[in-house]
Structure 1
């Protein structure tokens, strides 16, 4: 995969306020807040064979909190192997973690048994508990999964659909001779088979690893995470676009900006089949031409959403 150098100073925390409409659901969780974790190069030191509690000290706490939720949901609940939950996309992705402020009693109140008068007040402490997470993976991506494919740790373990091609193209930075050549082949793109909503070439970003702790589900937490990630990408719609400066074309005096891949509002998810209705609430549509495949033994389908992009933004440099 192409490693594009990012100017991470352009990343900022984004904590939206959800509109309060109608009567809140009961029981409502403590007021949550969202933390943004920018792409982290030091995640290369993450040990996929250990839990979030046993990682090196240089792994950001926010990412360890994200993994604490993912381990609860995907590893403990759904049976995904621990070493397969962390993958090579984590270090280049944006992550969001939603927290709830939870009060824990240190010591209960003490009352006078004769009069009922308060002798010692209850002592408590407030803890920020990570309760949900989501990630956004920038382009480029591996080719779409094969219909009928069985994947373990991202590796196809069966033949799958023999008719559907799978790209074997190696993604690498665009070379000057490729721009100057007659074919103008842009290797920052993945050549893929066209689907219902994707032409096989347009850059897209991928949402995934959406997870909410069981006791906090059905309270709008997942929706808040999805809307936060989508809104952030709309506002920072050029942040993952490669620039001539990054690729060195400015030093060659070449104007190739019109030929470099640009994100134009397309989101993809590899949704668990049983979660399709959840993603449909946020506007995603099932892509019938992508078929169905299995990741870590769980049936998945492809879904897409196209949004309008905002003005401004921050370009990778």
Structure 2
């Protein structure tokens, strides 16, 4: 299927998935700041939007094979793919690094996915996934680098705008760039600024902006399980160049502090990747008077380290 990422693609995705995904809940958090609670989405992250759009589009086009779908993932994209595949009644084979969080592996199996643990990096899982697709004829999905995936994720922005009229700025964590690319594409249509938040040592978008093209980067962060892509997508880089986008890097200490603050102040449990967005806003607050939405994008995490022993 020939696809491109633009606002029309985001609108088409919204039509496909409207009756399936959960509309975004947006709640006030502090003066001028609201949280978009996308971790309440099916499968526990925004990834359900892109996976649903990807498979629904292929089903509608008659290009969804009996061999089903396969994907390489740090966890969340695999969960979403398995969930969407189950809804379409086709098999899903999910490749993950062997160090993927146990909670994500167990949930994948609960969705009926065939889980394959390969290597210790996303790139290792991706290579195995590509070989499997070539051998079996399964439809190859991607954790972030596909226009249908990004367009599905971008549907979140218009839902946030509907709940928060006059939105000035949206803050979103960036890994491989699927969520960012979709949101930035929709945000550009409406004149909304985007803060693109990355860990200091998982800086694929920031490095691509500096180099002028996607480049491989080292991955070493507390948020690496969801933001640990070694290279950002070309669509994400293009969206960052075209829109009103600011790249913000934050250290792991700030990510951990933001995650704990969400728990202690709001009893919100999210994974470090989601807390990266709040850490970026804390590091670089929006101008006074701005209406800001922070996307809390996933909660597939073990909350045990948020509660002190004996409490």
Q: Which TM bucket (shorter chain)?
A: under 0.3
Q: Which has the larger radius of gyration?
A: 1
Greater strand proportion? 1
Greater helix proportion? 2
Q: TM-score, normalised by structure 2?
A: 0.26
